[in-house]
Amino acid sequence: DQQVKQNSPSLSVQEGRISILNCDYTNSMFDYFLWYKKYPAEGPTFLISISSIKDKNEDGRFTVFLNKSAKHLSLHIVPSQPGDSAVYFCAAKGVGSGTYKYIFGTGTRLKVLA
Amino acid sequence: EPEVTQTPSHQVTQMGQEVILRCVPISNHLYFYWYRQILGQKVEFLVSFYNNEISEKSEIFDDQFSVERPDGSNFTLKIRSTKLEDSAMYFCASNGGTNEKLFFGSGTQLSVL
């Protein structure tokens, strides 16, 4: 049941450049999306979210873009820093659908090279 | 910043034994969750809990699993008879509303031998 997919298991980027992480979803009932960052042996840490009434949300170096027609969202990190090296998960939830669960993708391991 | 705390950080058990994983959610949160991550795989939903009852559970959450909020602060996950495939990192999470971000604990690494 792969409702949320991150097709790139890993990504390497030079420090200072842009990192773009992608996420696709299949369920049109999803209308709240989140990105989490995870270091080894730690819990996921919230980064940024977006609801379906928006197509962009920005917070500092992090911007999330949502394309509802394509069922696609992306996370942009500019400029990338070595401390951004972690696994990034996108997550989705259906608002008002009676579901309580947040469904996570498989993650993308980002490595920022100094 | 308030945080979700989980104990123990590591738990090793023999197959067939019962384990209880403990969590203290953020104090004013109302919704509680358990997720797990098998090494290198995705973070999988197990169960959500609200108003002292399970609100949703996944197919993973079978009769061997149970959750409880025994008092006003703790939220526990019990696995009655552990199997080798239960080995994973278990994360507790909480939030104040159904459409708010989840706050995760640092996890309990469960190893079933």
Q: Who's near B111: CB < 8 A, 6+ residues apart?
A: B10, B11, B12, B13, B87
The CATH fold assigned to B5-112 is Immunoglobulin-like (2.60.40)
Q: Which of A49, A99, A105 sits opposite B42 (nearest CB)?
A: A105
Q: Which of A32, A38, A45 sits opposite B99 (nearest CB)?
A: A32
Judged by CB atoms closer than 8 Å, whether chains meet at A45 and B104 is answered as yes
Report pLDDT for A51.
Answer: 92
User: Closest Cα partner for A90 from A78, A79, A76, A106?
Assistant: A106
Per-residue pLDDT at A97 exceeds 60: no
Find the residue in B nearest to A33 (Cα): B101
Other C-beta atoms closer than 10 Å to the C-beta of B111 total: 13
Per-residue pLDDT at A101 exceeds 80: yes
Report pLDDT for A95.
Answer: 64
Instruction: Answer whether B66's CB lies under 8 Å from B81's CB.
Output: no
Q: Which of A43, A99, A100 sits opposite B104 (nearest CB)?
A: A43
Question: Can you list the residues of chain B whose pLDDT is less than 70?
Answer: none
User: Closest Cα partner for B29 from B81, B93, B78?
Assistant: B93
B83 class by beta-carbon count within 10 Å (0-12 exposed, 13-18 middle, 19+ buried): exposed
Average pLDDT estimate for A52-76: 96
Domains and CATH numbers, chain A: 4-113 (2.60.40.10)
* Distance from C-alpha of B39 to C-alpha of A86, rounded to nearest angstrom: 15
Judged by CB atoms closer than 8 Å, whether chains meet at A44 and B45 is answered as no
Instruction: Answer whether B49's CB lies under 8 Å from B56's CB.
Output: no
- A84 phi and psi angles, rounded to 5 deg: -80, -10
The per-residue pLDDT of chain A, averaged, comes to 92
**Interface residue A53 vs chain B (CB under 8 A):** no
Report pLDDT for B71.
Answer: 87
Find the residue in B nearest to A35 (Cα): B101
User: Closest Cα partner for B60 from B75, B74, B48?
Assistant: B48
> Residues 79-98, chain A: which have Cβ within 8 Å of B?
89, 91, 93, 95
Report pLDDT for B72.
Answer: 80
**Interface residue B30 vs chain A (CB under 8 A):** no
In a 3-state reduction of DSSP, which class is residue A84? Answer: helix
Report pLDDT for A74.
Answer: 98
pLDDT in tens, B82-91: 999 999 999 9
Report pLDDT for A98.
Answer: 64
Report pLDDT for B98.
Answer: 72
* Distance from C-alpha of A75 to C-alpha of A57, rounded to nearest angstrom: 10
Select the more confidently predicted residue: A63 or B71. Answer: A63
pLDDT in tens, A66-84: 999 999 999 999 999 999 9
Report pLDDT for A31.
Answer: 85
Would you kindly state where each structural domain of chain B is located, as residue ranges? 5-112
